[in-house]
Structure 1
Amino acid sequence: MAVRPDLGHTVAMPPVPLPGGVGVSRLCVYDTIAPDGEIGGTPHLHLCCAEAYVVIAGSGLVQTLTLAGYRETPLRPGAVVWFAPGTIHRLVNHGGLEIIVLMQNSGLPEAGDAVLTLPPDQLTDPATYAAATTLPGGGAPGTDLSATYARRDLAVRGFERLRAAAAAGDFAPLREFHAAAVRLVRPHLERWRVRWRGGALRAANETEHQLDALARGEAPHLVQAEVYQFAEPHDRGRHGMCGLLDTYPVA
């Protein structure tokens, strides 16, 4: 719930999205071993959302794969790391890794923007992909983690294939994965547009209106200023792709 501290009452959602229409969550990265011996999360990419990490505890790294190649970026408290849509990324936990995640286009990842690096036979159509990635109870806090880890391990095997090919100079498998991801998300695009219009685009348009008003010597938006707050996460310990998430409502 969002709280109006000055009035003492609550509303389901604030009437404006978080700054820029971003999403925010706290992530405790998984601490179990994947098939390649690494400890951490599930490799995946986003089709339309840039992502940023603010490291608050522990240490580790983020493995990334793009058509520019494979890379490992260290993660330590105080570091800020971000990457563009299309970057395959996987968090590796070297001990107690905790991150604040900032996500462009709040709500799109929850609506299917993320595609896991499953083996090709699991990417053939939306039904096959959903059968391999959907968690019991939607990954609700407190549910069994075995299906989450099985999904992670399947994606790691697909990721290993893409990474090995890229290391050998063969980017055809990565391009094929990109094409499969596009096919999988196309049924969701109209719903994504609705979320985008009400979030990031709305925030950008409001800035344009404010600039236009200031140019006229006016500032009606100053009269409408408010303070909003999420007193606590909506969920604690939701099963995410890279770890346990404390999540906040999305517009």
Structure 2
Amino acid sequence: MDAPMSCVQCGHPHPVPITRRPRRPRYSCRSCGAVFRDAIVDRERPAPIGRDPLSAFMPERMVRWVREHDPVTDAPDRVTLARWYKDFDALVAAARSSPEARATVERVSELPVDRLPVGVPAFSKVCGALRATCYDAELAAARLGGADFILERVGHVRHWLATVGRSTTWLEARPAPPPARAEVEALLAARDWYTTEQVRALFRALFGVDKGPSVAGVLERFGDERVRQALLAYLESGARPLREAVAAGLDAG
């Protein structure tokens, strides 16, 4: 029998089997040290999704449910994907008390209902965290709590933003007018950027947009000195190395 997908206590993936001989094998978690038995060894697990295109944008349990319940496309738009996440989250929450919802989740999920998360940040909130942090998955997940199921969701949503949803990112926004040289020089002299005008000048110089990530997200992702060097590069040649770094990161992801 294969090992459970994740630890029942902390959610860390691929716990280590201690013994396979009992009817219900025991496992040990390499992350938190928990020792537990597999509660689902007697239940047939759903077949793997394999190469289904939707598995890039959501966990396999959700792919199975979507394929059963909704006329689908392999390239969902923002409205459609947000609705799928909202409805599936509601189904998982209802499964705690509704036998019908529980039966549905048990049919599609590789994990028992009681090990599935309730209260994972909504699709729109994950998009917001990624937008604010220049689409850095680790920083976005940390902002949202950092649990394994959050990391899973951030990874899927980021992949959608990098591919099908690329047009919704601030990288694809209409180019903003260039900032005045004096505005950029003032940014280099300032200790912080607080005013609306300063933030707009910062985003125009670094990314060529009026509205982009959060200032805190930019500093978290790149640091003060790298931002300063990027502003100098813009003054010298009009280059935007941080924009290029964000775009390359999404391309690679």
> Which band: TM-score by shorter chain?
under 0.3
Q: TM-score, normalised by structure 2?
A: 0.22
Higher share in helix: 2
Higher share in strand: 1
Rg larger in structure: 2
Q: Which has the higher contact order (CA 8 A, sep 6+)?
A: 1
Q: TM-score, normalised by structure 1?
A: 0.22
